[in-house]
């Protein structure tokens, strides 16, 4: 089985080399690391959508598309003389072994929380990471970044003790947002709104819910329900703009009950 996986991966790498060769595909040959970078993000989101739907066939296909982006970037790195797909594989293999001394070494851990604490120590002592929070990518979506920052800080003890503490902080931030809104100061309103979003993102850690996933699912529910309302309104042959708030509320409840 191991040999079979290796051969299949080599086949994929060879296909990518052929596409980039002088007699390969014009489109693939024109690409640069920067030009195809957006596709990496796009394929990641499509993979997440497939996972959210629980569609195993679609997830398998999207994971393949995501893997292609890794191979594509590595191939261009090889052509430029500063990277090979083997270097990418070696790098992550060495990192996994280094960060799991409780599996590949003699170190003992109590639980998963202890594992995460060790990771931060290893990053700082063995990998030269200076700032705890500096390892969180700047380009992450803001909600996910807020979640990850909370995770990092919690590993050194900077955290609430329980979910009730987070909920109390949410109530506090909500009151401060009310006060800022009453003041009419735009800067203060934005500040307090941001604080509230930050705490809500961190609440997800205590509820064991990924905020990006939860918001993505909530967004899709909104799309599905609004689309249902659009169809219902179209059947009645009336203009959406003519509906009162009460009529919208009634339609929304019908959409929720129908989906």
Question: For 136-209, CATH number?
Answer: 1.10.287.1080
User: Tokens 């500040």, residue?
Assistant: 191
Q: What are the tens digits of pLDDT across the range 59-105?
A: 999 999 999 999 999 999 999 999 999 999 999 999 899 989 899 98
**Cα(50)–Cα(56) distance, rounded to whole angstroms?**
8
Residue ranges of domains in the chain: 2-98, 99-130, 136-209, 213-258
Listed residue (215, 175, 211) closest to 195, CA to CA: 175
Kindly state the percentage of the chain with pLDDT values over 70. Answer: 97
Let me know: does 158 contact 139? Beta carbons within 8 Å.
Answer: no
Q: What does the pLDDT read at residue 178?
A: 97
Q: Quote the longest CA-to-CA distance of the chain.
A: 72
Is the pLDDT reported for residue 207 higher than 70? yes
CA 236 to chain centre: 40
**Cα(250)–Cα(232) distance, rounded to whole angstroms?**
12
How high is the mean pLDDT of the chain? Answer: 91
pTM of the model: 0.64
Q: What are the tens digits of pLDDT across the range 134-159?
A: 778 888 889 989 999 998 888 888 99
26 class by beta-carbon count within 10 Å (0-12 exposed, 13-18 middle, 19+ buried): exposed
String of b and e for 125-135 (b: at least 16 CB within 10 Å)?
A: eeeeeeebeee
- Three-class SS of the chain: CHHHHHHHHHHHHHHHHHHHCCCCCHHHHHCCHHHHHHHHHHHHHHHHHHHHHCCHHHHHHHHHHHHHHHHHHHHHHHHHCCCCHHHHHHHHHHHHHHCCHHHHCCCCCCCHHHHHHHHHHHHHHCCCCCCCHHHCCCCCCHHHHHHHHHHHHHCCCCCCCCHHHHHHHHHHHHHHHHHHHHHCCHHHHHHHHHHHHHHHHHHHHHHCCCHHHHHHHHHHHHHHHHHHHHHHHHHHCCCHHHCCHHHHHHHHHHHHHHC
Average pLDDT over every residue of 7-21: 95
Write down how long the chain is: 259
Domain 2-98 has CATH 1.10.287.1080: yes
Question: Do 136-209 and 2-98 have the same topology in CATH?
Answer: yes
Listed residue (26, 23, 36) closest to 72, CA to CA: 36
**Cα(148)–Cα(143) distance, rounded to whole angstroms?**
9
């Amino acid at each position: 089985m191991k040999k079979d996986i290796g051969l299949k991966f080599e086949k994929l790498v060879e296909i990518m080399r052929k596409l980039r060769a002088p007699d390969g595909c014009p489109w693939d040959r024109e690409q640069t690391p920067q030009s195809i970078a957006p596709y990496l993000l796009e394929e990641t989101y499509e993979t997440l959508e497939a996972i959210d739907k629980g569609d195993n066939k679609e997830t398998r296909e999207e994971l393949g598309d995501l893997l292609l982006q890794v191979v594509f970037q590595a191939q261009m790195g090889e052509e430029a003389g500063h990277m090979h797909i083997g270097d990418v594989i070696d790098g992550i293999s060495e990192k996994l072994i280094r960060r799991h001394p409780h599996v590949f070494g003699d170190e003992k851990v109590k639980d998963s929380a202890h594992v995460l604490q060790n990771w931060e120590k290893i990053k700082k002592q063995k990998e030269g990471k200076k700032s705890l929070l500096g390892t969180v990518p700047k380009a992450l979506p803001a909600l996910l970044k807020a979640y990850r920052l909370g995770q990092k800080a919690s590993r050194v003890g900077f955290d609430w003790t329980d979910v009730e503490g987070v909920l109390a902080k949410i109530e506090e931030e909500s009151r401060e947002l009310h006060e800022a809104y009453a003041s009419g100061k735009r800067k203060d309103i934005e500040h307090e709104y941001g604080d509230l979003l930050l705490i809500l993102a961190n609440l997800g850690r205590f509820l064991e819910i990924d905020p990006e996933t939860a918001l993505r699912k909530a967004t899709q529910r909104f799309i599905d329900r609004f689309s249902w309302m659009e169809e219902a309104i179209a059947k009645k042959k009336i203009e959406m703009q003519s509906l009162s708030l009460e009529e919208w509320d009634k339609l929304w409840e019908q959409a929720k009950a129908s989906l």
